Chain A
Amino acid sequence: MSTATAGALDSAAVEQGVSRRPSFWSRALHSATFMAGFILTFTIVALVLLAPVIGRYSPVSQDLLHPLASPGGAHWLGTDELGRDIWSRLLYGGRTDLQVGVLAVLFPFGFGVVIGTVCGYVGGVLDLVVMRIVDVVLAFPFYVLIIALVFVVGVGTHGIYIAFALTDWVIYARTTRSGTIVARNLDWVAAAEGGGLSRARVLWRHILPNTVTQAIVYAMSDIVLVILAVVTLGYLGLGIQPPAPDWGAMISDGQTFIQTNQWLAAIPGLAVVLTGTGLSLLGDGLADVLRPG
C-alpha cells in the first residue's frame, strides 16, 4: 500500500469519527495536574542539579563567627548553628535525598515488575511461593522493617539501598501480577497465543507493555514514600551520614533551636513537602494521561 493511500484511509477514518489516540505529550499538555506536577518537579530537580552553580557556599564549610544568622543578606536562608549556609545545604541535601530516593526505587521496580508478570502469567508453585513472601513482607510495618534492616546491614546510603531492594519490590510484584492475570484472559492475548507466538514473546511484547503502565504510575508515589523514608532515617541518624547534608538531619538539627530559630527546621520540611507534592501531582497526572481511552 502506498503512503498516499494510507494517508487517505487515515483521513477517511478521522472523518468517520474514528480518531487516532493523541500522542503522549499532546494528552499530557492538556492535563493541568500533569503539567503542574511536571513544572514543580522539574524546577526542584533543576535547582538541586544546579547546586554547585547557585549554592554560593559549600554545604559543609563552617563559619563559626556567624552561627544562626537570620535569612537575608549574605546568606539567603541564614546559617545553622555551625555557620553553614542553609540555602546551599538545602540544595545539596535535596540532591542527595532525591538521588537516593530515585536510585532506591529502580531495583524494586524492575525486579517487582518482572517477578509479578512471570507469576501472573505462569502461576503454579512459583506464584504461590512468591505471593506468600509478599504477604510476609507486608505484615511488617514499613518503617519497622526498614529501620531493622538498615540497622543490621549498616546505616547510611548503602544500608538504605539494601533495605529497599529487599522489601519495596512486593507492591510492584502484587500490582503487576493482578494486571497480568487480567491481561492473560483478554481476547488479543488469546489471539496472539493462537497465532502461534511463543509464550515468552506474548509475555514480553503483548502483556508487559500493558501492565508496566500501572507500575510506572505507582513508582511515582513510591518515590515520594522512599524519599520520606530516607528523610526520616536521616532524622533518626540512621540515614545519610554527616557531614553530608540531608533534609532529615537538617530538621533534626533545627529541632534543637525550635523555640528561637524556627526556620531551621521549617525550611527543609517545606522542601520535602514541595517535592512530595510535585511528584504526587506528576503521578496523578501520569495516571490520567496513560489511562486508556
Chain B
Amino acid sequence: MARRILFSVPVVLGVVVVTFLLLRLIPGNPAETLLGLHASPAAIASLRHQLGLDQPVWRQFWHYFDGVAHGNLGRSIYYQVPTSSLIASRIGLTGALVLVATFFSIVITVPLASLAAMRQDRLSDHAVRMFSLMGLGMPSFWFGIILILLFSVDLHWFPVGGYGSTLWQHLDSLVLPGLCAAIGIVPVLIRSLRVGMLEVLGADYVATARAKGLRPSRVTFAHVARNALIPTVTLLGINIAYLIGGTVVIERVFSLNGLGELMLNAIGYRDFPVVQGVTLVYALGVIVVILLTDLVTARLDPRIRLK
C-alpha cells in the first residue's frame, strides 16, 4: 500500500502542474480577458498582480505550489474570500452525491450483469445489452430532466431540486441525482462485468462446483458472484472519475449547491482562481478514491494482498 501511495505522488505533482498551466492557456492578457472589455487599466493591473502574472513563470509556479501545499488555493475574484473556504462549504454535498451514485451503480449493475451472463444469448441477455447500449448514448442531464418530470412533478415522490436542511431531506433530495449520475457509468460497468462473469462461468472451478452437484443458486453466489466482485470494484475505480465529472452537470439540473455548481457559477463570473481550485480538488479527490478502491481490491483478492 505504501508503494501505491508513492506511485501517486508524481500524478499529484502532475495534476498541480496542469492546473497551474490553465492560467497560461487563457489567450492574450489573462487579467484583461477575465475582467472583460470595460475594465479600467488599474483594475487589470491589480488583478495581474493578484494572479502573480507580473512575476517570472518559475516564481509564479513556486508561489502556486507552495500555496497548494499549505491548503491555500488563492482568493476568489467574485466572492473576495479564500477559494478553499468556498470549496470546504460545498465539498460535503458533492461527496455525498458521489457516495449515493456509487451505491446505485453497484445495486443496478451487479444484478443486471449477472442476469445477462447467466442467460447468455437469451431474451434477458439481449434486453440488458440493448438497455446498456441505449444508456451509453444518453445525456445524463436529459435523463435527470425526465426523472424530475416523472418522480417529482407528476408523482411528488422526491423534491424537484435543492438539498433540504435535515439529514432525511438530504438523502431524499440525493436519490434522483444519485440515480442520474449512476446511469452515466452503469452501461459501461454492465458491459464489462457481463464479459467478466462469462469468463468466470467458463472457469474450471465453476464446472467442478456444478459437477459435484451444488445447487445452481449456490454456484452463483458462492463461486461466481464472489469472484466477479473484484472486477466490479476495479471497474468502479476506473470509471469513478467519469462519474465524479458527471455530477458537475447533474448538480446544475437538480439545483444542488455543490462543487460542480460552484465551478459553473465561477465560470459565469469569470472567477478564475475558483475554477482552478475546484478543478484541482476534483482531481485530488479522484486520486484518493482510486487509492481507496485499490485498497478494497487488495482486501478482497488474496492474490493481490499476498504480493
Question: Cβ of B246: which chain A residues have Cβ within 8 Å of it?
Answer: 141, 143
Q: Is A279 an interface residue (CB 8 A)?
A: yes
B149 in contact (CB, < 8 A): yes
Q: How far apart are A49's CB and chain B's nearest CB, in angstroms?
A: 20
Residues in B with CB closer than 8 Å to A144 are 244-245, 248, 263, 278-279, 282-283
A140–B133 touching, CB < 8 Å: no
B136 touches A224 (CB 8 A): yes
Q: How far is the CA of A280 from the CA of B134 in the complex (A)?
A: 8
Mark A268-287 against chain B: 1 for CB-CB distance below 8 A, else 0.
Answer: 01001111110111001000
Q: How far is the CA of A231 from the CA of B248 in the complex (A)?
A: 14
Cβ–Cβ contact B287 & A139, under 8 A:
yes
Taking CB atoms, residues of chain B closer than 8 Å to A266 are: 146
Interface of A is mostly: helix
Does A258 touch B at the CB level, under 8 Å?
Answer: yes
A141 touches B282 (CB 8 A): yes
User: Contact between B139 and A248 (Cβ–Cβ < 8 Å)?
Assistant: yes
B137 beta carbon closer than 8 Å to chain A: yes
Task: Determine if B25 is an interface residue (Cβ-Cβ < 8 Å).
Answer: yes
In the assembled complex, how far is the CB of residue A257 from the closest CB belonging to chain B, in whole angstroms? 11
Query: Size range of the interface on B?
Result: 35 or more
Q: With A142-B242, A273-B138 in contact, is A151–B275 under 8 Å at CB?
A: yes
Residues of B within 8 A of A228 (CB): 137, 139
How many A residues are at the interface, by size bracket? 35 or more
* In-complex Cβ contact of B267 among A135, A224, A238, A280 (8 A): A238
**Chain A residue contacts of B15, Cβ below 8 A:** 136, 139-140
With contact pairs A275-B137, A277-B133 given, residues A141 and B27 touching in the complex (Cβ less than 8 Å) = no
The answer to whether B145 touches A143, judged by C-beta atoms less than 8 angstroms apart, is no
Confirm or deny: A86 has a beta carbon within 8 angstroms of a beta carbon on chain B: no
Residues from chain B with Cβ under 8 Å of A279 in the complex: 137
Taking a contact as CB atoms under 8 Å apart, the answer to whether A236 and B252 are in contact is yes
Nearest residue, chain B, Cβ from A238: B267
Nearest CB on B from A150, distance (A): 9
B153 within 8 A of A: yes
Chain B residue numbers with a CB within 8 Å of A276 are: 134, 136-138
Pair A251/B23 contact, Cβ less than 8 Å: no
In the assembled complex, the Cα of A235 lies from the Cα of B145 at a distance in Å of: 12
Contact between chains at B245 and A143 (CB < 8 Å) = yes
Main secondary structure of the interface of B (DSSP, over half): helix
B279 touches A153 (CB 8 A): no
A139 and B14: CB pair below 8 A?
A: yes
CA distance in complex: A235, B251 (Å): 13
Is A149 an interface residue, CB under 8 A from the partner? Answer: yes
- Kindly state whether residue A132 has any CB partner on chain B within 8 Å: yes
Partner of B149, one of A136, A147, A258, A272: A258
Q: Which residues of B contact A262 (CB under 8 A)?
A: 149
Chain B residue contacts of A231, Cβ below 8 A: 139
CB A218 to nearest CB in B, in angstroms, measures: 12
Whether A153 lies near B139 (C-beta < 8 A) is no
Among A151, A255, A276, which residue has the most Cβ atoms of chain B within 10 A? A151
Complexed CA–CA distance, A274 and B137 (Å): 7
Q: In the complex the two chains form, is B282's CB within 8 Å of A273's CB? A: no
Query: Which residues of chain A come closer than 8 Å to B14, judged between CB atoms?
Result: 132-133, 135-136, 139
Whether, in the assembled complex, B11 has its beta carbon less than 8 Å from a beta carbon of chain A, the answer is yes
Q: Is A265 an interface residue (CB 8 A)?
A: yes
A151 surroundings in chain B (CB, below 8 A): 267, 275
Q: Does B26 contact A (CB under 8 A)?
A: yes
A279→B138 CA distance, assembly (Å): 12
Render B129-171 as a binary contact track against A, CB cut-off 8 A, 1 for contact: 0000110111111100110110001000000000000000000
Distance, CA A147 to CA B283, complexed state (A): 13
Which residues of chain A from 64 to 111 have any CB-CB distance to chain B below 8 Å in the complex? none
Does A31 sit within 8 A of B, measured CB to CB?
no
Whether A28 sits at the interface, judged by CB under 8 Å, is: no
Pairwise interchain contact B242-A139, C-beta atoms closer than 8 A: no
A217 within 8 A of B: no
Q: Would you call B286 and A259 a contact (CB within 8 A)?
A: no
User: A152: CB under 8 A from chain B?
Assistant: yes
A83 to chain B, nearest CB (A): 23
A276–B184 Cα distance when bound, in Å, is 13
Instruction: Tell me, yes or no, whether A148 is within 8 Å of chain B by CB.
Output: yes
CB-based contact A135/B11 at 8 Å = yes
B137 to A277, Cβ gap below 8 A?
yes
A135 to B287, CA, bound (A): 10
B304 interface residue per 8 A CB criterion:
no
In the bound complex, residues from chain A placing their C-beta under 8 Å from that of B110 are none
Q: Which of A136, A236, A259, A284 has the most CB of B within 10 A?
A: A136
Interface string of B263-301 (1 = CB under 8 A from A): 110010000100110110011001100100000000000
Q: Could you list 16 further interchain pairs (A-B, Cβ under 8 angstroms) beyond the known A141-B244, A153-B25? A: A136-B11, A137-B18, A138-B241, A140-B279, A147-B248, A148-B263, A149-B22, A149-B25, A152-B275, A232-B139, A251-B139, A269-B138, A276-B134, A276-B136, A279-B137, A280-B133
> Can you list the 6 inter-chain pairs with the closest CB atoms, starting with the nearest?
A276-B137, A141-B245, A136-B14, A143-B245, A269-B142, A141-B244
Task: Jot down 12 A-B pairs with beta carbons below 8 A, ordered by A.
Answer: A135-B10, A139-B287, A140-B283, A141-B244, A142-B242, A143-B248, A149-B25, A152-B272, A238-B267, A251-B139, A274-B137, A284-B133
Chain A interfacial positions (CB closer than 8 Å to B): 132-133, 135-145, 147-149, 151-154, 221, 224, 227-228, 231-232, 235-236, 238, 248, 251, 255, 258-259, 262, 265-266, 269, 272-277, 279-281, 284
